[in-house]
């Protein structure tokens, strides 16, 4: 509408006039409330309100502004005579009959402006409110959010948690709740160090992206380009596995977490052992979360740079982001003045402090410790396309690549508010109530974490807790997002509490059914000492079994658990300080000679039980001990067997037959390599040379005496 058509009816048609642009205090007066910004409100015309929108701006030449009255068709009219004196503000509208003008005062906190609108001798009241933007608007949306967090924390028995929220590059909040040490009553703060668990994975892919930016790594070239000896059981995966495959969980391998959990192996050793772990899917067909592949990705960056993964993260990420206290180990975190203890809720509902778990060896998959204050910089980096304080750490193209899903997860949609997505390099993606989320959680003994981005709204949230496996890491961000995005309220925590109660009832019923599956009245096939020994798997390493207090005790990866007889040759893990193997089953196997020779355990449920083979006594590879068996033994006058020591191995030569290598079994017993069911057992006193040897074969036992 042409402005001349409004000159006669501006005042009579007055309806809510949105945010009038109130001049801030004189340009040079700092004490006055801030005036610049967008204001919305109304002129109170008799019987109605005329909406007014005002934008004010401080310029070197003084204050200026624009005004809009949508009902009148007035759009972005430049103001004149904008004046500010302390909290008093006035301005006029040019070119309209009656000399319309606004005069009023800004409240002390700068949130509102009210006064009198005059035109042609008439005077009407007006009021305007500042439209909050960015971080200010986010803070207003989170009013009383503390109470929500505290209720969720109490309902889920979380001892302590910390939250940081970023909007548009600004820190909206960073705060701790509850206790970092409940026994000592030490408060959780925004600076408390907590493990971020698997949220670490995105740091590993960020280092990889930086190497791609520098031309030192290619997402699509085979891993064997940089690690020629890399090998998996699947020959296709061995040849074609790329860095991108490693970090998108599409290797065909299930978790196999017992490879690294609580182990002391080096990263290189663990990567070498991957070839002995069974896949359960074809390469690149299914999403299967796998920490060992991320371990391999971190090791790959070490091979490329000649530096440790820790040094790469420290130099390429921590340093430019100012993350000076973030670190990679339990021991290092505990040296800090502000770190958190870990907690777990027991089956009886009590909350217990538990020991810290060191996972430094699998660091690239989850070992970073940080505060939410420092993690806020990590959020800013991703929301600002790889820049921090204007400096590029990653290229915009790499950040977009890291946020783009590369592997479909194939999850069904169970809630209309949450649409499953795919896995991007180091990040999960989904659609939450119409908004794209890029996020990654983390769980390690006694701690749970969530790092979440909503790129379309320039929002980032990090929640770190000191409770094992708590869903609050996801529930709190949902409540925050609903407020920040202006979404309808949903009691996410209440709904989850109801589901948990139902699950607990089902769990109790399941435990009763488990007892019914036990075969009563059975006995072990051997005395308990016969089960003792060292059992080895080429991928998982050594499992030690000993007899202790009338039970078997199994030690694996430095975790010791007592086992009771369950049925037949199966034993069940009992409750222990470290509950990893509670209710785990050990099933022992026998060889053709009737002796215990193996134990199998379902360390990875999605593949066949893992079989550990019983190892011979160490002395059976000691040349000095083997020497007592060396010599010639007569089976009959025309047949003799000659035994000799070659290095650490005992070999047998029989006339007309090839040389046989003997594999240690136990005591003085050896298996003949390459002949199933064939053994030799030497007869000897506690000291001195053997006097005879038994050839134990499927068709009988034949004795030969020393010549």
Asked whether residue 16 carries a pLDDT value surpassing 70, the answer given is: no
Confidence at 133, pLDDT banded by 50, 70, 90: confident
Asked whether residue 2 carries a pLDDT value surpassing 80, the answer given is: no
Using an 8 Å Cβ cutoff, are 464 and 452 in contact?
no
Q: What is the pLDDT of residue 11?
A: 43
As a whole number, mean pLDDT of residues 531-558 equals 96
**Residue 49 CB neighbours (<10 A):** 18
As a whole number, mean pLDDT of residues 28-35 equals 55
Q: What is the pLDDT of residue 573?
A: 97
Asked whether residue 8 carries a pLDDT value surpassing 60, the answer given is: no
> In whole angstroms, what is the distance from residue 279 CA to residue 494 CA?
39
This prediction has a pTM of 0.83
Distances from the Cα of 621 to the Cαs of 624, 649, 683, in angstroms?
A: 9, 6, 18
Asked whether residue 180 carries a pLDDT value surpassing 90, the answer given is: yes
Using an 8 Å Cβ cutoff, are 25 and 31 in contact?
yes
Spatial neighbors of 507 by CB under 8 A, at least 6 apart, are none
Asked whether residue 464 carries a pLDDT value surpassing 50, the answer given is: yes
Using an 8 Å Cβ cutoff, are 454 and 485 in contact?
yes
As a whole number, mean pLDDT of residues 484-496 equals 95
As a whole number, mean pLDDT of residues 94-100 equals 92
Q: Helices 492-516 & 472-484, crossing angle to 10 degrees?
A: 160
Domains, in order of start, for the chain: 3-131 (2.40.128), 528-614 (2.40.128.600), 618-706 (2.40.128.50)
> In whole angstroms, what is the distance from residue 399 CA to residue 388 CA?
13
Among 163-177, 381-395, 404-418, which stretch is predicted with the lowest mean pLDDT?
A: 404-418
**Residue 516 CB neighbours (<10 A):** 7
By percentage, how much of the chain surpasses pLDDT 70? 95
Asked whether residue 258 carries a pLDDT value surpassing 70, the answer given is: yes
Among 165-169, 262-266, 316-320, 589-593, which stretch is predicted with the lowest mean pLDDT?
A: 589-593
Six token digits for residue 646: 């070659």
Q: CA neighbours within 13 Å on the CB side: how many for 498?
A: 5
Q: What is the pLDDT of residue 9?
A: 42
Q: What phi and psi values does residue 426 have, to the nearest 5 degrees? A: 90, 5
Using an 8 Å Cβ cutoff, are 438 and 417 in contact?
no
DSSP 281: S
Mean pLDDT of the chain: 92
Asked whether residue 537 carries a pLDDT value surpassing 60, the answer given is: yes
Q: What is the pLDDT of residue 25?
A: 31
> In whole angstroms, what is the distance from residue 409 CA to residue 466 CA?
28
Strand stretches in 549-668, DSSP E: 551-556, 559-567, 570-573, 585-590, 596-601, 610-614, 631-636, 639-646, 649-654, 660-666
As a whole number, mean pLDDT of residues 69-81 equals 91
The three-state DSSP-derived secondary structure of 45-90 is CCCCCEEEEEEEEEECCEEEEEEEEHHHCEEEEECEEEEEECCEEE
Q: Return the top range by mean pLDDT from 396-405, 638-647, 666-675.
A: 396-405
Q: What phi and psi values does residue 51 have, to the nearest 5 degrees? A: -70, 140
Confidence at 6, pLDDT banded by 50, 70, 90: very low
Using an 8 Å Cβ cutoff, are 312 and 206 in contact?
no
Q: What is the pLDDT of residue 517?
A: 82
Confidence at 507, pLDDT banded by 50, 70, 90: confident
Q: What is the pLDDT of residue 32?
A: 53
Of the two residues 130 and 672, the one the predictor is more confident about is 672
| Per-residue pLDDT tens over the stretch 341-379 | 999 999 889 999 999 999 999 999 999 999 999 999 999
């Amino acid at each position: 509408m042409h402005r001349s058509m409004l000159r006669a009816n501006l005042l009579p048609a007055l309806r809510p006039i949105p945010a009038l642009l109130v001049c801030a205090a004189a340009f040079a007066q700092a004490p006055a409330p801030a005036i610049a910004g967008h204001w919305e409100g109304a002129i109170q015309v008799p019987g109605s309100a005329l909406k007014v929108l005002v934008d004010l701006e401080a310029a070197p030449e003084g204050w200026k502004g624009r005004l809009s009255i949508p009902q009148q068709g007035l759009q972005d009219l430049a103001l004149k005579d904008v004046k500010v004196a302390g909290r008093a503000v006035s301005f006029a509208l040019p070119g309209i009959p009656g000399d319309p003008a606004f005069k009023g005062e800004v409240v002390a906190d700068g949130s509102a402006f009210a006064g009198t609108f005059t035109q042609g001798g008439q005077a009407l009241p007006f009021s305007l409110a500042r439209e909050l933007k960015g971080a200010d608007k986010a803070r207003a949306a989170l009013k009383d959010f503390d109470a929500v967090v505290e209720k969720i924390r109490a309902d889920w028995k979380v001892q302590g948690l910390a939250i940081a929220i970023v909007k548009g590059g600004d820190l909206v909040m960073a705060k701790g709740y509850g206790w970092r040490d409940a026994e000592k009553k030490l408060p959780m703060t925004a600076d408390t160090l907590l493990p971020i668990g698997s949220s670490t994975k995105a740091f590993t892919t960020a280092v990889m992206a930086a190497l791609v930016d520098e031309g030192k790594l290619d997402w699509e070239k085979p891993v064997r380009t940089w690690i020629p000896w890399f090998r998996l059981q699947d020959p296709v995966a061995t040849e074609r596995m790329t860095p991108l495959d490693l970090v998108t969980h599409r290797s065909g391998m299930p978790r196999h977490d017992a490879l690294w959990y609580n182990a002391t192996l080096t990263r290189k050793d663990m990567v070498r052992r991957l070839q002995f772990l069974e896949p359960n899917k074809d390469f690149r067909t299914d999403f299967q979360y796998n920490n060992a592949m991320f371990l391999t990705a971190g090791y790959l960056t070490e091979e490329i740079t000649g530096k440790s993964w820790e040094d790469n993260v420290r130099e390429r990420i921590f340093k430019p982001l100012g993350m000076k206290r973030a670190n990679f180990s339990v021991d290092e975190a505990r040296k800090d003045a502000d770190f958190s203890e870990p907690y777990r809720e027991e089956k009886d509902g009590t909350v217990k402090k538990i020991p810290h778990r060191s996972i430094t060896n699998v660091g690239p998959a989850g070992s970073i410790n940080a505060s939410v204050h420092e993690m806020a910089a990590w959020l800013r980096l991703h929301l600002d396309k790889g820049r921090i304080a204007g400096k590029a750490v990653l290229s915009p193209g790499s950040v977009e690549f890291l946020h783009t899903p590369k592997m479909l997860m194939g999850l069904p949609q169970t809630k209309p508010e949450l649409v499953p997505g795919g896995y991007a390099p180091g990040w999960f993606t989904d659609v939450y109530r119409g908004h794209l989320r890029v996020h990654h959680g983390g769980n390690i003994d006694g701690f749970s974490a969530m790092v979440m981005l909503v790129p379309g709204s320039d929002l980032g949230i990090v929640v770190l807790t000191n409770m094992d496996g708590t869903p609050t890491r996801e529930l709190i961000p949902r409540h925050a997002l609903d407020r920040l995005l202006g979404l309808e309220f949903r009691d996410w925590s209440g709904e989850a509490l109801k589901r948990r109660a139902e699950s607990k009832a089902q769990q109790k019923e399941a435990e009763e059914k488990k007892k019914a599956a036990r075969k009563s009245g059975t006995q072990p096939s051997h005395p308990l000492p016969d089960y003792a020994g060292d059992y080895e798997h080429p991928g998982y390493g050594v499992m030690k079994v000993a007899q202790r207090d009338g039970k078997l005790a199994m030690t694996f990866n430095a975790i010791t658990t007592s086992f009771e007889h369950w049925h037949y040759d199966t034993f069940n893990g009992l409750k222990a300080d470290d509950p990893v193997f509670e209710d785990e089953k050990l099933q022992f196997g026998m060889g053709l000679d009737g002796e215990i020779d193996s134990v199998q355990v379902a360390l990875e449920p999605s593949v066949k039980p893992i079989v550990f083979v019983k190892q011979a006594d160490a002395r059976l590879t000691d040349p000095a001990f083997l020497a007592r068996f060396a010599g010639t033994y007569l089976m009959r006058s025309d047949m003799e067997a000659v035994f000799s020591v070659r290095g650490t191995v005992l070999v047998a030569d029989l006339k007309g037959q090839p040389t046989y290598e003997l594999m240690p079994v136990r005591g003085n017993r050896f298996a003949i390599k390459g002949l199933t069911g064939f053994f030799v057992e030497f007869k000897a006193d506690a000291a001195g040379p053997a006097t005879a040897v038994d050839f134990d074969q499927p068709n009988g036992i034949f004795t030969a005496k020393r010549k």
